[in-house]
Amino acid sequence: MGVSQDSTAEAAEAAAAQAPGPGDSFGRYLQAVRIQKQISLEQVAEETRIRLVILQAIEREDVAQLPPDVFTVGFLRAYAQAIGADGNEAVQRYHALRRPRQQTLEAQPPPEPGRRSVSKKLIFALAMLAALIAACLLVYRQWQGVPTATVPTASPLAEEPAAAPPENPAAPPPSEAAKNLSMPPGPKHLLTIAAHENSWVKVVIDQGTASEHKLKAGDRLRLEAQTGFNLLIGNVGGVKLSLDNQPVTIPGKRGEVVNIHLP
């Protein structure tokens, strides 16, 4: 019986891999455990419902292709659970890799405040120079005896009372369109999350700051957004979603971690 090319490649990959060591970072750590247990990346994607390109970016440690930290941490825990690895260990290794880069960005000195005022000082100096030149020209013209133009003043007797402005008719009431423009826009979308089992949800509203909510059976969470929601659900079978009073179908099984975008 011949051996398929996929089995040969998987065997070669497993033979080349080593057991995870303390020096491995998060991607190599998870990849080493997966290969050691002879689990394909496609199997992990099918079990966790995480896209294959995200799992590949995790193993390559391509941080630029990964979502924000709050979602990446959830993906790491789901990946580790699917292959029987330590989720806390994977998250710690991920933070250890990200921390030096953040410290480097924080260590960069802020721009010197003096540079911001250079342009203002230059404009002020040019204005003073122009005023000085105008004053010098005026003194020179007076010294040469050049008469300056004078504006004749009108006699008080020649003044006529100014005509009273016509009375404006009553302004029409503002139209409904103008009223609508003056009113602040209200929320466009209403999301309701009802939990019938214990679960957790991480939510990003309108691409802003993420928030995490731990829900117990019977809890109900109402959220409002202008553009939409990005959700990471820890137990997809334990919650029900309703967007704008319409039920939302969530792909996945009980206990799975799912990332969805609404609407």
What's the CATH code of the domain at 76? 1.10.260.40
Give yes or no for a contact between 231 and 263, defined as CB atoms under 8 angstroms apart: no
Residue pLDDT, tens place only, 199-232: 888 889 988 888 889 888 999 999 999 888 888 8
Tell me the range of 47-51, 193-197, 233-237 where mean pLDDT is highest: 47-51
Is 47 domain-assigned?
A: yes
Structure letter (DSSP) for residue 183 = S
Give yes or no for a contact between 194 and 220, defined as CB atoms under 8 angstroms apart: yes
Among 16-25, 161-170, 190-199, whose mean pLDDT is lowest?
161-170
Is 54 domain-assigned?
A: yes
Q: How confident is the model at residue 263 (pLDDT cuts 50, 70, 90)?
A: confident
For residue 17, what pLDDT is reported?
46
For residue 107, what pLDDT is reported?
55
What's the CATH code of the domain at 257? 2.60.40
Reference 239, options 263, 261, 227, 256; nearest CA is: 256
Query: Domain of 75?
Result: 10-103
Is 130 domain-assigned?
A: no
d(CA 239, CA 195): 4
Backbone φ and ψ of 88, nearest 5°: -65, -40
What three-state secondary structure class fits 28? helix
Last residue of a domain, one of 51, 80, 103: 103
Last residue of a domain, one of 88, 103, 118: 103
Is 246 domain-assigned?
A: yes
Last residue of a domain, one of 103, 137, 156: 103
d(CA 81, CA 37): 13
The yes-or-no verdict on residue 35 having pLDDT over 90 is: yes
Is 123 domain-assigned?
A: no
- Which run of H or E residues covers position 262? strand 258-262
Got the DSSP string for 194-258? EESS-EEEEEEETT--EEEEEE-TT-EEEEEESS-EEEEES-GGGEEEEETTEEE---S-TT--E
Number of domains observed in the structure of the chain: 2
> How crowded is the C-beta side of 105, counted as CA atoms within 13 Å?
4
Residue pLDDT, tens place only, 99-151: 765 655 555 555 555 555 556 788 888 888 888 888 777 766 776 665 544 44
d(CA 91, CA 212): 17
Is 84 domain-assigned?
A: yes
Q: How confident is the model at residue 67 (pLDDT cuts 50, 70, 90)?
A: very high
d(CA 186, CA 144): 71
What three-state secondary structure class fits 260? strand
For residue 163, what pLDDT is reported?
55
For residue 186, what pLDDT is reported?
65
Q: What is the mean pLDDT of the chain?
A: 77
Is 227 domain-assigned?
A: yes
Is 159 domain-assigned?
A: no
Residue pLDDT, tens place only, 159-185: 455 555 555 555 555 555 444 545 556
